[in-house]
Amino acid sequence: MKIDMSSHSPQHKIFGLLSIILASCFALKIILDVVESRVEHSAFYLSESFLFSSVWWLFLPLLYGQFVAADLYKTKGSYALVVLTPFVTHLFAYPAVVWLISKLFYYWHTDDKGLYSSNNETPPQAKYHGKLRGWVKSDESGIYAIKTSRPAAYPSQDIPQYIHLSIKEPDIENEYYADLYFDDEPLYLKHKKKYGKIDRAGTEIVRVLLDNKNQVAEHNIVLGLNIPNYPAKNTTLHQSGLNIGEDQPSFIPFHAFGPDKGTRTCPVCKYGRYHGIVYFVGDNPNWNEIKKWLNYLDSESSIREKYLKAYFVYGNSKNYNKQTRQTELEKIGNELGLQKIALTYVPSFTDTESEANLNNINAMVENTFIIYRHRTIVDRHVNLKPTDDNFKVISEALNKTKSDYFELPELKHD
């Protein structure tokens, strides 16, 4: 049977009209991306908008197949099947394409001269991003790796070295962007003072380690973190502490007991390289439970030696007296015979002089546990009871976030 798709056939005219409509939808989607980038004061990149708008073209082969099948089968049952099949197919085809795209993220950065240079292998539509670019796919555990050169800063500008990321999630319509800066970059501090620390999709800082002559930096992408208008997903009634993926802030508590007794040593400043646990208790202390946690944390610190530093930070604002608080914690440290853990205190968790307020701790919850690795928060727990199961939760969190590069030396910098 011959199918008439000549230029004068009804099928050809309808197919052509649908092609125009789909092309218009495609263009409209790109225009909307441009408008949104202006409203949100974010960057617009034609290559990404083109890619994530291309799902509209899935309709064309499905519609073509529908026209062909409609001419082949004339019975009512067959015709109904022909009509319904493209709709059902699209229900699966669209999520499949989005899923495939969302397993990837895109990165690009400058060369060693601070330029987005291209070569003969760079596609024309990607020359704006240069040759040092690509799509990255994570494995089933969410682990990914980029092997590239280190970018240089833009010539004759005060913008620090950085890497661009474009991230697409399966159930979020538009991609969003993040930038990664290097902790040893001299220009970064000036940039931070001018623009602040944004931490889109995780901390914006990557901390460089040395693996022989190779530089290694680890970064966890935290989906949606600090992204404007990101759809709220999992919320908790007892929010306390900063988010996983953000940096543990520096602050200066009073040390009542432990290795830095009598000082105001900043936990993450002195002990930020490896793992750290900051155990916060506010206005509702349960001292029987606190003592059990202190014994566990002290023991775990002894086992892991230099690779773990644990802090107890007491921030009860009720009837605060500095000398009374000092004596109270000293007594507990001696009573329990603690060796490794530091017992510290602040007037309250909203105190700005000690900068304890930067931790964003809810003083009304029983406790907040912040676990950091190389200054970045990798786990957080609220209202944990001192049970064997919860001790195991903390130990397993430390083991799970250790990584293959945990013991590598840092790159020396000011």
Surface-to-core class of residue 268, CB atoms within 10 Å of its CB (0-12 exposed, 13-18 middle, 19+ buried): buried
Tell me the CA distances in angstroms from 294 to 172, 290, 328, one per residue in order: 43, 6, 14
CA 306 to chain centre: 27
Residues facing residue 314 across a β-bridge: 281, 345
- The DSSP symbol for 352 reads T
Q: What is the DSSP letter of 410?
A: B
CA–CA distances in Å: residue 368 to residues 122, 249, 359, 365: 49, 15, 10, 7
Closest residue by Cα to residue 230 from 220, 240, 238, 222: 222
Q: Is 277 exposed, middle or buried (0-12, 13-18, 19+ CB in 10 A)?
A: buried
CB atoms within 10 A of CB 198: 12
Percent of the chain topping pLDDT 90: 51
Q: What is the pLDDT of residue 5?
A: 41
pLDDT tens figures, 361-373: 999 999 999 999 9
Which range among 10-19, 194-203, 297-306, 344-353 shows the weakest confidence by mean pLDDT? 10-19
pLDDT number for residue 3: 38
Q: In the beta sheet, which residues pair with residue 343?
A: 257, 312
pTM of the model: 0.73
Q: Which two tokens stand for residue 296?
A: 């566990």
pLDDT (mean) for 197-214: 92
User: How far is Cα 263 from Cα 122, in angstroms, rounded to an integer?
Assistant: 56
**Model pLDDT, residue 67:** 62
Domains and CATH numbers, the chain: 10-102 (no CATH), 104-217 (2.60.130.10), 254-400 (3.40.30.10)
Cβ atoms within 10 Å of 305's Cβ, excluding its own:
9
pLDDT in tens, 84-95: 665 666 566 655
